[in-house]
Structure 1
Amino acid sequence: MLAHRVTRPGQTTPALPHPGVETGLGVLRPTLARAAGQVADAAISWMTPHGYVQDTLLPAMAEGAAEAGRPVPRLVTVVHAAVNRPHRSPYRLAYTAARAHLAGPHYSDMLRRAGLRVHHSHPTIGARALVDAGVFLYGTAQEIAAGLAEYDRAGVDEVVVNVAGVYSDHGREDAVRDLQDILTAYREAEN
């Protein structure tokens, strides 16, 4: 049975306990970063180089927050990564993980603003650029942990490690093993 409660004008519904609700806004370029600063609790970026985050997104978020007289939102960044293991190609993993985004003009524009040579009509070349520029982190777990630390130094509040390329090409067990190794290396580097 489905119950529906109708309220009359001026009548309020009773307060129910619930987890906090936050507003997040995806950001790639300065205009949306500024908008996130004005209205969001969190801004979420994807495939954004740490230097671009520091030099472009965070200042735009701070500007928007100042205009609205509110605190700068948290910045959450999704970073693709894969541990260097036998029979893996970093370029193939980057392509598998990011080809749909690399084919999007808005992602290509953001990456070009960040100094990468990419074009949405050539996602394979874009995948190479991601690896070569260290946007797709590939190497030992310790090297990846060092790359993640760059995002911390750039001012990112939370990093989401994305192993989608490994998952798609090598399966769940390998993806979980990569995550475990990367997170262990990151924790060890923090201490």
Structure 2
Amino acid sequence: MEGLLETGGARTRILDAAEELFAGGGYDATPTARIAELAGVPKGLVFHYFPRKIDVLVSLVDERTAVTEEDVEAVPGDAAGALSKLARMIPLRASPDMRRILFREADTHRSVRERIGRLNAEIIRRARFALELALPGSRGDAARLEAAAATFAAVLLYQESLCTLTGHHIDPDAVAELIAHALG
């Protein structure tokens, strides 16, 4: 067990296993023993890294939905391009499993619900800033920029859930074009 503690890879394997299992069957239906089994680690090692099962969920959500601290880039006059670049910076676009976990567990776990709120606020803030950079002189129309930014955030956060439910995929780049067109 000491060798596993030193590798650091065991913690990642535990989170990988939890992500797969929570996305498939949900947090409540996933026993800690199953996480350990899929991760290929002793059950005690799960509790070494995560004293309680909820700590696995909280760590998974916090670490795998962190928005990078990259600068928002925008070319004046290219609002669609600015939003498209922003969409590629947001980690949820690449993680359907994490989005599924977020929305499934938000109903019953306050920490997950709060994380969605923080993500939504951060995406709105960055989208508004990108639009302000791309559309110089638009700051006077704060209500329209806020609505555009909130719409874009909703697409980024909810499109995977919609796709899972309906099979319909919403392309964030197409939404960026639509929003840019609407803003003029």
TM-score normalised by the shorter chain: which range applies?
Answer: under 0.3
Higher helix proportion = 2
| TM-score, with structure 2 as normaliser | 0.28
Higher strand proportion = 1
